[in-house]
Structures are given as structure tokens and as C-alpha cells.
Structure 1
């Protein structure tokens, strides 16, 4: 009789065959980070899935019912990359599953993969606590060159301090499907290092590994290997391309780039920032591709000559993410890729403060009252805020600190939809002083939720630097193509009014126009104008003052498409997308009757209204123009396209020029797009925020000799 495991594998193999050939390229990468649930004794775990999927980016639909046991990280603009092939995006979710788990997971008809893990439960003899499986950082899709050997070092961590080893997944143990190891890939099990020999034809290959943790043992006793505490999957993709240069010409990390496996300790509501700098002597870097955690902010990409740079930041808000979080990045050029580099963010665990502790948040300051009796063996003379200029007062019973929101080293960060003021009370000792006395690190935070403010006149303070690194640009794509194809393939249209005094034109609806590209030289029926921003501020809006089109580059004769939130005629329809993107479908048959080329110029604003009840974007309502007059922070951009062909031509790579003058090569589109900024002078309201403010306060006691 066939045993149960064999039967499961057979059934799942048949299921994948039934789904079709798309399953052969299941995904471009996958990791699962596992956190055992203490309340269930580890029988259940919270599994954090990270998957790299090929474009078009698949939606997170049908994975599970959203709630406490399932969280889908639906980013407005998923983390993505342009190479290899047609590009890729990162999809992430977390789900409570059995500790020993296997399943065929389908994101859509083109992204299906098999996952198997053995995560316990296992009670550790040295601590009596549940074992945490190993964590493996997932790099962006790996690119190699034919006949060029390559070493790929995986970055691994283990919260219990266990020894981590990697091995190839075994199909006979139900760990993978159709996953025989490749002869051109060598694996160092002890270091989780992969070596590509280079002896393989051009193509795309998939590598299936299992990462396992072992209780540390002396080297002399490692001859007889013990059983692993857990096994978790790691899927990688390797794209082998033709070699056109030396095997040693890859971009190299330099400058302020963090060292490999650098670890940042992150307190609640603390912001972490770092840069990735690369130098590439042979080819200019076209992108710095990143695979990271939900909420990671990427901005300021520049590539000038041999130098390239990308900035990244993350704010630790309230989350259910794993305690340790990786970020991996590589520099890609046309035919080269740098060595992957990974850093880790450790969410420091905080202890609960005793009764009697208060953090009172007012309009201009936060006041801390802390019972002195709870600070055993803490030298109160060493306690200090971010700025030593603000005193910390204490007596025999209580410690008190008055912390200005615009001073004392208080920082302002955005965590989701909240504005958060943060400071830290901590022990500060001279660097030359060595002590075994405990030290104190006490993060303080006043949170202002935008949607839970008191009354309609509650004001939200926004830093004047909120849009310093923001860029806006425009792109043209055929319907159903481009980075937002998810919204344009099956569009949902938003109502938009006509300009005052304009007559309605009887134009055919552009919602049902064929989106496929015709023969060379034929007229394009419809095209989508994308206005995009890289800002991640949740409450920011993209407001369009005016868009005009012309048949000539000097705009000698121009015709209005959009003005003050209104459309000029029915040849334009708006497609619902994200808060940081505006998409308009243009009926080219009715917009142009003679010309085969057009140019477009748009004036847009990025803005945030200080009143949560108001919008700062220009609205068109019943033929009249309405603009928010409340105080707001804004930044103005003027965007002008290059020539946009209105007939089917052979697509060429387009260069998008951002407001700061930097360039970036994108996937093929119908036209080159140029963006210039003529004004970027944000204004800030002079008043402070007041309203419903929640208290978040935590403490962490540690001994100096533990560092």
C-alpha cells in the first residue's frame, strides 16, 4: 500500500501538472520566516512568506481570509526590479499554519509553487523555551554569465544562537517537486554558500534548499551529525546570460554601504536609514534592486557615470512581523550584477513598565512620570534624553521629564497613517567607563492617528522635509501594460467632471477598446497616461492642475486634456489606482485625427492637508472648480514628455528623467519621457498638532557585559 507521504506528493504533482506549464517557473525566489506561537505550545506558527514573482505582478487574492491569522501586505507599489527578463515584484504575507506544513500555493495562474517545512515544536533543553527556526535573507533574482564562475553567499541568522546549515531539498522527503540538484551548482552546507561553475547554457534555473538549525557542538563531536531542530525552505532563481565582458567587471559596493550582515537594533517607532553605494567601471548601473520588509521606503536613486546610490529607510511601528528582518540588495547594469549584500533589522524586545508609569502627551510637550522604585540598580545621574540640554528631575519617589515636541532631541516620523513624536531616556556613560551596573533604554512615543482626531478642526503637523526626496514623473503605456497593469487590465473608472462651458462629445467608450498592439504602422486606439510619485506618505495626494497635449515639441498649438481636476472632453477617463498614482485612458482616435506624434505637459502637486477631514487635491464638482484652501504642505512639479508615437512602432527602452535630473532606464514603452521641476518650495503651517494621542512606552534593562 502506498504510504501517506508518497500519496500526498503524487496528488500535489498531479495538481501542478493540471495547472499547466506556467508552474515550471514557479517563482524567482522564496523564503519563509517562522515564529512559533507560545499560546499553542508551538503546534502552530506564524509563517512570514516572501515571494519574488515575475511580472505582471500577481495580486494577493484567495490566499487566506484576512484577519488576525492572516495578514496580506498589500503595498501600493510593490517592491520591484527590472532584471532579469520582463522584471519582477515582491509579494509578502503572513499566515498562522501548522508547524509541520506543506502546501501548493497559487498567487495566480502564472505563479504557483510548492512549500514544505518542519518547524517543530521543539522545547530547548538549555532554556526551556520553544525553538526558533533559522532565518535566511532572500536576495533579488541572481544573474550570472556563461562561463563565469560565481560565488553566492546566503545570509543566515538564528535567534537561539544555533548553528545553521543548508542542503538541497529532497523530493523523496516531500520537500519539493521536480527539484534534482544541478551539476553546475556546488553547495557548502556549513556556510550556506553556493558556487556556480559557469558550465551551463544560457537560461533560467531554479535552486531548492532547506535551511536547518543545530544545537552548537564542539568541532570534534560534529563527525556524527545530530538531527536538525527544524527545516525551512529557501527557493532561488539563477538566470545565466551571455558574457560580453570580463568575469571580474561587476559593480562593487563602496562608500557608506553597510557591511555584509550588518545588524541594526530598532526601538519602537525608531527610524533606520542607510545608503547603498556602488561603483561600476564597465557599465552604468540601471537599478539597485532590493528585497526587504513591508513598509521599506526606497528613494533618491541616482546613477551618474560609474557611481550609483540608493537610500532606504524604515520606521518601526506596531507590527506582527518577525523579530529579525532582512534587507538584501544588488546593483544591476545591462549585463552585470554586483554581489548580493544583506543587512538585518532586529526589533528589540521591550519589557512592560510597572504600574504608576505615565506618559502624558500635550500640544507642545510630553511629560514622563516614572516610579523610581522600578529602576533598581540604575544610576539616576546617568539618565539623559536625546538632548542633554533638557533636564531629568527625580526625588525619592518619582522621576519626571518635560520633553518638548520641537526640542530636546525629539524626532518626528511617519508610521503608516500616524504621525509619531519620539524620544529616548537612556543611561549615558563616558566611553572609557566600564561598569557591570544595568543600563536603561526607555523609548518614548506620542502617536497621533489621523483618523481618530478630536473634532473636524484637528490639525496634523507635517515636517517641512516630508517631500524633500519626493519625485513625480509621467509614463505612457498601452492599456494592460506597464507597472500598474493590475489596474489597467480590468479598469475601474472614477467619475470626473467636464470643464465649465465644455460641450460633451459623443466619443466611443475607451473602457472596451482592444488593448492588443496591432501591426506596425497602424494607429494606436488607446493609451494610458500614468502620473506617478515615489512618496510613501500615506496621506499624501497627487493633484493635477493641468495637462495639455500638442503635435509639436514647442507646444505652439496646445489642447487641454485636464485642468483643475476636470477633463476637457469625454475622450479622457480616469482609472482607479493607488493614492500615489493617477492613470488616465486617452481615446486617441477622437483626441487626434491627423497627427502621428504627440507631446504632453502636466503641472501637478504633491500635497498633504493638515485637516484630516479635508482633501488638498483639486476636485471638479458639477462644473465648478473646487480647491482646498486649508493650510497644506505641497511641492509643485512641471512634467513634459518626449515624443509619443500614436502609431505602432518597435518599442525602445525609455529613459525616465526625474525632477532632480537623474535618469533610469525602464522596460520598453512607446516613448521617452522627460520630467523637469520648475518649483519645489513646500510651506509648513506654524501651529502644532493637538488631538487624541495614545501613549506608547516601553523599557529595556540590560547589562553592559551582554553587548
Structure 2
């Protein structure tokens, strides 16, 4: 995001601080140009806007510092200045402005302008803005009006100035004509005040029409807007709401001039509806309002947006035409914590069977961004800055899908983000084959390193004890094991893992999930090739309760005699298309009464069992590839098989074979090993009792390459070369974007990265 900063001149000529400008013609031209641009911005077509404020304390000169966050969406361009002007004499002066683009989609550009004002007094003041035009409104609203009322008097209950309610909304909402929908306008007050959302009722100040459009219902106390029914049209309804906060009890506000004022709670009650017959409710606008209080609110803030009613959809059931949110999308109203200077991530996924997911719409703080990965999931990312600590931010989003020529929009969801200071101090280093994470032990006092583990820790190489010292917990995490997950977008490969707390390092579940440190390494796909993944893979050593320490060995052989493995120095191995590949997986254990079972094997362009686009060879213990052959062995801890070299290799420069294996007590009929091949589309799990079978472990070997014949060498071959492209910059620790995020949780953590069912891959 491009961020600009500089002096600002108040459009109404109020007492604003500005740099001295010479009296020459060039300087005058600059001022005229600035005013002209501000006027053009105000005159552009508006979809909606809202404003909140943040009290920043007192400056050294005693003035009161306040940041105003004005979010606006315009059609046809990214305009920043809305032309807010002072209505009165206590608006202070503008010392700084910052601007940035939040989202730009479908010809609508959402921006945020942060205006810093320094007030000489903490007395109440009013900011106003108005201009032409709402974008193609259909409810009689052409020009727009907005007002922001702020009172910085010291509250008798908190001993601090009033803090602004936090809220947000997407400026352009779309709903099919025949599908009633409820929009929960998320509001949060950091002082615990009562917040209500009413329709603007002061013409020329708060709104233009002062009337909620027909077909909508607004419940003021819950800030809930319901679309009921109306005709479809390409023009939008312009909705002009006002957000107010009232104290929960009687308080006084003290000002620097020695005066005081009082505020009373909002008395909740039912206002009269504008209709009496039930059948009229679906065709007429209504407002459920509380009774009027005798004292004004603590603040009044604009919340304005547009609603477009689209033609009817064949069915209103979500997931068919209308996008339906699925896991891991957060619920509406969910709360997050984000640490300062550390990137937070919100994952969004939606499905629709008869339309195609197209885009994600977002609204949130400056520097927020969105990304789409190869799983058709969206990532919302944001990094709070130090001045955000202790404050709250509302992030809203919706997904759009397309079935030509109609666009469908999902429900809108909003989440609340609280920004905290740095709690854990991680440092992440990325190299060709691993991620190194260093955590200062002093930053998580009260937790012992013995109760910390990676996502998967049965592999001895994943122990946090190996490299840690007296001052730091150090994890050297391979990119292809220890539960490392791989994600991919158009430009990058992202490897993710996490360090969490457990009751015991050998436990599968935990009730003490108090700390979660998520970290990742991001590598660009383009760059020079290194030999990061071309070496023969080492054996996998595993520790399991009841089985002790045992080792898996995955090797390739030249023939079906399985006598001498292929020299590891020969890797990467090359095969002719159709030639047979012979493989053996062997388990070595001090316990004799055990047997090995291979539940699945897949081929993928990366040495990572979590990669989503893989070719299945064996699934649920059953042969999937028709060329697979198995060979008997006198040793129950060996599994021998072969298959023909397949064209999948030709789509990539090289591939790896990864298998999921399990060790069981030999002869026990209650184990997964005894179940053998099970033809099932769902996940299969044997009954895991203590000491009769292990968890699933992943072993891999490779890479394999398809040998090019002389005839095909000169032909044009589609080469995605994903593995080598990934290695392209793995030496680039400086180029990879690195982040460690720590989140304290008060509830049991969910499983983060589950493999997708076959139907979703």
C-alpha cells in the first residue's frame, strides 16, 4: 500500500496549522490545485463512508491529540479527502494526514484517510462534510451529508476522555431480490458503553432523506439491518446511519475550563412502528427505536453505505448460487488478538456449486491486504504498528461469485481485532531446507520448554530440546516434516508451522494450550536453482510410547529382487516413461513382535506430504494406480512395491514419493494393519489403543525425473518445474518474507491444517 503524509489545509478555512508558503505564483498555484483536488474528490460518486476516532493523549504543549479515521468508497477512482470542515471554533488544527487504498474491486475503490488534529480544549466539537453525489441512488438521495460529534471531556467513571465506538461495514452490499438477509453491523465500545445505530434525522447535517428506504428494517439497539423485499434495480439504495454511544450509568464530563456536563444511560424501549398490518411489514421500511434520552450521546459518528438489490436467484440456499462460507472462515463477530509489528492472518473460504468464486471484498484498517492461494482460499493480512496497541479494529469481508451475467455476494461477516504489545519475541531464519525459530525464554515466563512442541513431534528430528540453550528455545524445522504445511499462491510458496504448549510432550491432545507461536517462511517461485531438495532423503527416526525408538528407511531398487539399493549418490533418479520403479519401505525396531502397514502413498512435486496437488498411488491400503504391484517379504517390517513411471513426472521437473505408514502389534486384530485395504471415500482410522499401534508417520524419497528421449528432447514440453522454481531463492533468506506470530488462547486449540478430502482437491 502506498502511504502519503503531509500538511493539510482545512476546506472551510478554519484555524489550521500549515507550512509557510512564499507569495510567489507557483506556491499559489499549488494551493489552488490542492483545493481543486479536494473538491473533485468530494464531487466523485460516493458509495459510502464511515468515521471513528482515536484519542492519542496530550501533546507536550498541552493540546489534545486525536486521530480521525475516515473510510470512504468511491466509484471511478481512489479519492482520499472527503472535505471535513469545522462547525464551530473548537476543532483545533490538522498536523498530519495519511492516506492509503484498502481495497479496489469492481470499479469501487475503498480508501482510508487518517487525519490528526490537535485541540486546544477538550470541549465538544462538530465536524461536517457534504457534497454531490451518491452513486446512482434510487431512494431520492443525490447529494450526501455527514457529521461527526466528539466530546473529549474526562469521564467520571474511567478518568479518561471518551473512546470512540469501533465499527465498520462494506460500502457496497448486494442481495438478490427474493432473498431476505440480515446484516449484523458489528459495533464495539472499548468503554463498555451502550451503542445504537439509528437512521440520520437531521436533514442537511446527518443525512439527506432522513427516511429508511422501503423494504428494509433497522433495529437500533442491536444495530441489525434486515433486507426484506423490494424490486431489483442496477442503481443502489443509499443508507445514512448514525452510530451513538451512551454510558451504562449516570456520569459527568469534566473540561479544562472548569465546567462540567452530565450524561445519562439510554432508556431502552419500543418506538412506534410506521405500520400495523403484518403483510405490510415486508414491503415497508420500519425502525425499532429506543425512547429518546434527555441528554445527548457521548459521540455521534456517520455510518453510510449502499445496498444494491439484484435480480432474483433460482434458490436462496447458500452454497448453490450464493457463496457459502466454510471452514476455516471465522464466524461473524469473532474476536482476534494481533501483536504489534507481527503480521496477522485471517483465512476465508467460500463454496458455490453453480457459480464460480471470483473475489473477496474487504474493509479494514490501513495497510490491510488480501491474497488468493491455489486452494481457492483467501488470506486477509495486516500488520499493526506501535500506535495501534491497546486499540480495536473491525475488519469486514464478503465473497462474490459469478454465473454469467449475474454476480452473487455472500453474507457480510465482520471480526474484531484487539492489538496487543509484543508478548513473545520470535526470530525466524529461512534457508534452503529448513526454518530456524528462536524464542527468548524470558518472553514466556511461567511456561517450561518441556511443555512446548511443534505441530508434529514424534520424529526425533522435531525435538525442541536438541538445539535449545539456557536463554532461547531453538527449533530447526525441516520444510518437509514436523507438521510443516505448504501453501501456494501465484507468486510464492509458503511453509508454515507452529510451536504450542501441551500437558506432556508425548500427548496427542492438550488442555493447556496457552501459547501458540505461528511462523512461516515465504519464498518467491522465480530465481536461480540450487540443490536444496535433490539429495537422497535420510532415514526417519521416530519415538512412540510402547514402541520405543524405531527408524523408517525408504529406498529405490533396480529390480524386483530388492537386494542392493540404488546408490544415494545417483539421485535424482531418472526413469523412462513406462519403465518400472521398485521401492521398499523398511522399519527397524528393537521390538520384534511388530509389523509395518502402508496406508497411503502419493507423488508430488515437493518433498512435503501436505502438498494438496498430489497423484495418489495407494489410498486406505488399496492400490489406486493400476500399475502398482506388491511383493511378499518374510519380514513383516518390510513393504515392497513397484509401479510404472507415469506422465505425472513429465508435468514437473521432478517429483517425490511420500507414504503414510503405521507400526502395529503383530497378530492383533484390533489394529489398522490387520484391516488391510478398505474401500472408502472417507478417512479410515483403526482403533488406536495404548501400545498396539503407532500414529501415522510420513516417509518420503526422491526426487525422480522423467528421462527425455532423443526424439522428445527437441520437442516443446510443458514444464511447470515447480520444485526447482521453488528452490529459486531458497538461499534468499533476505528475500523471503518472514514472520512469527504469537497468540494467547483461552480455549482449546482446534486442529489447524487438516488434509482436504479428495472431493476438494
Q: Given the two structures, how large is their TM-score scaled by the length of structure 2?
A: 0.45
Give the greater-gyration-radius structure (CA): 2
Alignment TM-score, normalising by the size of structure 1: 0.48
Indicate the structure whose relative CO is greater, using CA pairs within 8 Å and at least 6 residues apart: 1
